[in-house]
Amino acid sequence: MATTPDLADLARSLVRVHDAVLSGARPPEHPRPVVARSWARTMNLGVDPEGRSRRDPLAWSQVEERRRRSPLSTVLDELRMPLLAAADAASYLVVVTDADGVVLWRSGAPGVKMQADRLGFVEGAVWTEDAVGTNAIGTALAEASPVQLFSAEHFENAQVPWYCTASPVHDPMDGTLLGIVDVSGPALTLHPAIRALVGASVQLAQARLQRRHGDRLERLRRTVHPLLAGVGGPLLVVDDAGWVATQQGLAPRDRIEAPQADRAVAVPGLGICMPERLADGWLIRPSEQRAALEAVIDVSGAQALLEVRGPASAWRSALSPRHAELLVALAERGRAGMNAAELSIRLFGDAAHQVTVRAEFSRLRRAIGALVAGNPYRIAEGVALSVRRSRG
């Protein structure tokens, strides 16, 4: 975004562009690509530029529950302190949302808070594009990247007097979106350093999250050490997300799929294991019973179903049509498996969809875990998979 010192001139120019686009006229210049994309999405969503479609904020009890669940609650100081140090003097707000765009925390200059109250920019408000049109929080969520908007780059007319600078915050361990940190204030007070300050606060928070995760693994490691004394054979101890705290008899690895009490997990070097709850984590070791998992894909009805039985596991799961088709293809190929090109041809009729195949397989593996393996894509060792095409 331009950092012209004459913000008033820039604001007037953007108002002309905004008004022309919303009226269907030819604008005097094109909006920035990120703004044009967001305006197009917002208009397709039917958002009212006068703000008449805004939803009411969530109940306070719901906000408090979301705060308790949010991983960002543990790094609020890192997110807010670098920004709040100058908030009163700079006349802006510091806002933290969850991954749904719900405003969970709002701090800053009292006068700007009052203006935000009139706008509906309060704790519990849903600040996504489909709720309030183009804005830095909602657009950062939609674009999955930092966004700064100034004046009439916002879609709703009531937001035109504002600037906002937002950046996503991700879990540094797995990339999961945790929420958004945003700085918003009167448009003509925008300072060129705001973008850098927001970026720095995100980096501090993500670094702190990574350190906290390392601390949790270390505590788990210390807790299970005496419990594993004398336990022979290869094993892993992992946390609830599958991150490895300690291991023995295996090549080093950082992570396995997240364990669940009633589902087997496949680990190279261990085979198919039934996770055992241990302290604040899971013990992963070969089952004493080496019986295979028996799985059936039932495609005889309108909804494809997967039924699984094992030595200590029995579960059933609905499958999307694409995942059912992928599993059927692997079942029919047998132990040899298939590569991405072969699966692309099987599923789409050509080899041009290998990226889509890889993404679908990753989603399938997250859903059914130990039943499938990669490189090549195949049914995992120890799994007997059959296809039921008719009832009975």
Instruction: Report the amino acid identity of residue 93.
Output: L
- Torsion, Cα of 251, 252, 257, 263 (10° steps): 50
Tens of pLDDT, residue by residue, the chain (392 residues): 444 458 999 999 999 999 999 888 998 999 999 999 999 999 999 999 988 766 789 999 999 999 999 999 999 999 998 888 766 667 899 999 999 999 999 999 899 999 999 999 999 999 999 999 999 999 999 999 999 999 999 999 999 999 999 999 999 988 899 999 999 999 999 988 999 999 999 999 999 999 999 999 999 999 888 878 777 888 899 999 899 999 988 888 888 888 887 777 778 778 778 888 887 899 998 866 555 678 889 988 889 888 887 655 567 888 999 999 999 999 999 888 999 999 999 999 999 999 899 989 888 877 776 678 888 999 887 788 889 987 65
Domain assignments of the chain as residue spans, ordered by start:
7-212, 231-284, 293-388
Residue 386 bridge partners (DSSP): 296
Task: Give the residue carrying structure tokens 């692997």.
Answer: 330
DSSP for 11-49 reads: HHHHHHHHHHHHHTSPPSSPPPHHHHHHHHHHHHTT--T
pLDDT for the residue numbered 2? 45
pLDDT for the residue numbered 88? 64
pLDDT for the residue numbered 276? 86
At residue 292, the 3 state secondary structure works out as coil
pTM, two decimal places: 0.72
Residue 348 bridge partners (DSSP): none
pLDDT for the residue numbered 225? 85
Tell me which DSSP letter residue 246 carries.
Answer: E
Alpha-carbon distance of 16 to 54, in angstroms, equals 24
Alpha-carbon distance of 119 to 142, in angstroms, equals 22
CB-side exposure of 280: number of CA atoms within 13 Å?
11
pLDDT for the residue numbered 3? 47
Residue 318 bridge partners (DSSP): 305
- Report the run of H or E that residue 131 belongs to, with start and end: helix 129-132
Q: How many CB atoms lie within 10 A of CB 115?
A: 17
Angle at which helix 33-44 crosses helix 136-143, to 10 degrees, equals 100
Q: pLDDT by residue (tens digit) across 269-306?
A: 787 788 888 878 999 988 665 556 788 899 888 898 88
pLDDT for the residue numbered 180? 97
CATH of domain 7-212: 3.30.450.40
CA neighbor of 39 nearest in space, from 119, 152, 121: 152
Instruction: Report the amino acid identity of residue 151.
Output: S
Alpha-carbon distance of 321 to 357, in angstroms, equals 14
Strands 147-150 and 304-309: unpaired
Alpha-carbon distance of 249 to 259, in angstroms, equals 20
Alpha-carbon distance of 98 to 176, in angstroms, equals 12
What is the C-alpha radius of gyration for the chain, rounded to an integer number of angstroms? 26
Are 266 and 373 in contact, with CB atoms under 8 Å apart? yes
Nearby residues of 136 by Cβ (< 8 Å), 6 or more positions away: 147, 148, 149, 164, 165, 166, 182, 184
Residue 170 bridge partners (DSSP): 177
Task: Give the residue carrying structure tokens 């945003």.
Answer: 182
- How far, rounded to the nearest angstrom, does the alpha carbon of residue 92 sit from its chain's CA centroid? 28
CATH of domain 293-388: 1.10.10.10
